[in-house]
Amino acid sequence: MIKFTNIGTEASLPSLYPKIDEFYEKELKFHRIHVSDNLILSAVELKAPQGAPGTTLQDSSHTLVIVPGRAETEHKYAELLYHLKDTGLRVLVCFVRGQGQSSMVLYDSNKCHVERFLHYRHDLENILSYLDVGPNFKLMGFSLGGLISMEFCFNTTYRYKPRAVALIAPFLGINMPFSPRVVYPILKILCNIRSFALAYTPHGKEYKRVPFEENCHSHSQIRYNLYHDYYASHPQLALAGPTYKFVKCCMQAQGRLHKRKSRFTFPMLCLGAGADNVVSTQAAQEFCHEHSHDPIPPIFELVPHAYHDILNESDNYRNEPLLKALNFLFNGTTDLSYLAEQEEPEAPAPQPESKPAPSEVPEGATVIAEQDVDDSELIGDAPRVPHN
């Protein structure tokens, strides 16, 4: 059993941040994977101690693969990786095309765009192949990474599939006033017009920092500010808003999940944010309910009042869900009773005034205590990428 006890606190972050930054620069391994002349993929690796079990191509049971959300950077994961460095795990944060420091899809723009959703699956397959990820690895997907993770699990041609999966605020549906059954066919037709396909959606635009008081991603002022301060000092990493074609491809992948008769034969935990204004928590809960009679039914749990970016949330919305996800993946349980045996954690910093919108708990959801499809897109194998 791996005991996950400390994944960081807001109170310790100001004094610890210089060490985290140094750890990020000196202790992590940054991979640049050359898939083709036009595509380089990025991955960050927290290496396991030499000889650690479960971190090889023959057995990857102690390997955690993380697929980030849209418009995230490698540095965002520094705090989490810092606090996982003594667990003996090998952790890989994998960035598909157009995300992190992987190649942009549009050469003359930093818009968030993709031509076919299966390209994301192929990118993940290429990264896992290049980094020699073998059987029994664990998979964690945030937001867009949650949708990519489901696409991978049910459609991959990669030799090995994950032993267990955890999704955090997954992008399995869009918050919008109209049904996807109405919107998607219209979007599919309009995206045949290239200028429309490459245009920003109504809320899309170049990156611009939103004041903390107006944001709907995090209640944690320190984590929110550190995240956007990094963009301020590394403006080249700031990804702009999504295009219509990106949204169309995501909706297509979401629809494919419901149309395909795939069944869960592996454990899956889905954590939904109760006050998520970015993706549809209800869609995630409904997806899990659709598979309630599968051989291994997925588990859905709600984090009441949490905003979308749980990784960057305040401690009371972040730490218990992340600990549950890690314990589920590596210990097969969400029971955190062992934490009571540990020393009292450092008291969290006082929380700033916030405006959490009270959320109703979807019927059938567990609550974490508060402190039409194109068949052409279903084919294609990702070649193994040779080592440099």
Q: Which domains does the chain have, with CATH numbers?
A: 13-333+355-378 (3.40.50.1820)
**Beta-sheet strands, E only, within 105-256:** 138-142, 164-168
CB 30 within 8 A of CB 78: no
Q: What confidence tier does 351 reach under pLDDT thresholds 50, 70, 90?
A: low
How confident is the model over 138-173, as pLDDT tens digits?
Answer: 999 999 999 999 999 999 999 999 999 999 999 999
The arithmetic mean of pLDDT across residues 341-370, rounded, is: 51
User: Rounded to 5 degrees, what are φ and ψ at 106?
Assistant: -100, 120
Q: What percent of the chain has pLDDT over 90?
A: 80
Per-residue pLDDT, 339: 75
Question: Cα angle vertex 144, ends 314, 186, to 5°?
Answer: 130
Structure tokens, 224: 């929110």
How confident is the model over 52-109, as pLDDT tens digits?
Answer: 999 999 999 999 999 999 999 999 999 999 999 999 999 999 999 999 999 999 988 8
pLDDT of 378 > 60? The answer is: no
pLDDT of 386 > 70? The answer is: no
The arithmetic mean of pLDDT across residues 198-210, rounded, is: 92
How far, in Å, CA of 67 to CA of 145, rounded? 5
pLDDT of 383 > 50? The answer is: no
How far, in Å, CA of 339 to CA of 320, rounded? 10
CB 45 within 8 A of CB 29: yes
Structure tokens, 387: 């080592």
* 21-46 burial code (b ≥16 CB/10 A, e <16): bebbeeebeebebebeeebebbbbbb
pLDDT of 12 > 50? The answer is: yes
How many helices (H) and strands (E) would you count in the chain? Answer: 10, 9
How far, in Å, CA of 134 to CA of 293, rounded? 29
* Range from 185-189, 270-274, 311-315, 367-371 carrying the lowest mean pLDDT: 367-371
**Beta-sheet strands, E only, within the chain:** 29-36, 39-46, 63-67, 90-95, 138-142, 164-168, 268-273, 299-303, 366-367
The arithmetic mean of pLDDT across residues 202-211, rounded, is: 91
The arithmetic mean of pLDDT across residues 308-312, rounded, is: 98
How many residues are there in the chain?
Answer: 388
The arithmetic mean of pLDDT across residues 126-130, rounded, is: 98
Question: Cα angle vertex 244, ends 102, 309, to 5°?
Answer: 60
